[in-house]
């Protein structure tokens, strides 16, 4: 499967992502609308997100893409640092708070709302396609 989706890998805060913190992976559709795909935390955000990117390249369904959606060059997969936090407990608390706050206003496409647990593949694909196909 050829990936034509654009990747924005910490373009605004690459250096800061070298450390510990909470991060967000989002999708931006052709209209410029943004939806969260995944929220996580790591002691080394850049490495953790590179692992996410590796899994995505191996299997685009990891982030809910299918054979059609992965070929859209007007879609952007965006990785960004939400905040830098070294303390593990504070980082985990921030991650949970960000997930809860986000869920108040919109679905997180790849997560089921219980901490950082991912949805099943079919659920992710359906949720991403629903977002990408709205306002078509």
Q: Is residue 70's pLDDT more than 70?
A: yes
Half-sphere exposure of 129 (CA within 13 A, CB side): 13
Phi, psi of 109 (to 5 degrees): -55, -40
- Overall average pLDDT of the 64-89 stretch: 96
Q: Where are the domains of the chain?
A: 6-129
**Residue 39: closest CA among 90, 88, 98, 92:** 98
Percentage of residues in the chain having pLDDT higher than 70: 96
C-alpha to C-alpha distance for 92 and 87, rounded to whole angstroms: 9
Give the residue-averaged pLDDT of 107-117: 83
With vertex at residue 13, the alpha carbon angle to CA 28 and CA 22, rounded to the nearest 5 degrees, is 80
Residue of 36, 16, 26, 8 lying closest to 83 (CA atoms): 16
Which tens digits make up the pLDDT trace of 18-46? 999 999 999 999 999 999 999 999 999 99
Q: Write out the DSSP string of 55-84.
A: HHHH-GGGGT--TTGGG-TT-EEEEEEEEE
Interval 61-75 mean pLDDT = 94
135, pLDDT greater than 70:
no
Asked whether the beta carbons of 85 and 21 are under 8 A apart, the reply is: yes
Evaluate if pTM is beyond 0.85: yes
- Indicate the pairing of strand 76-84 with strand 21-28: antiparallel
């Amino acid at each position: 499967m050829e990936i034509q989706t654009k990747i924005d890998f910490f373009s605004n805060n690459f250096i800061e992502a070298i450390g510990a913190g909470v991060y967000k992976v989002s999708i931006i559709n052709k209209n410029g609308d943004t939806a969260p795909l995944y929220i996580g935390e790591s002691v080394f955000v850049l490495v953790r997100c590179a692992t996410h990117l590796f899994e995505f390249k191996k299997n685009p369904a990891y982030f809910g893409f299918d054979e059609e959606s992965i070929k859209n060059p007007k879609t952007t997969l965006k990785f960004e640092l939400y905040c830098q936090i070294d303390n593990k407990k504070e980082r985990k608390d921030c991650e949970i708070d960000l997930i809860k706050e986000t869920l108040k206003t919109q679905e997180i496409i790849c997560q089921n709302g219980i901490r950082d647990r991912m949805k099943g593949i079919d659920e992710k694909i359906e949720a991403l396609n629903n977002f990408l196909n709205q306002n078509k």
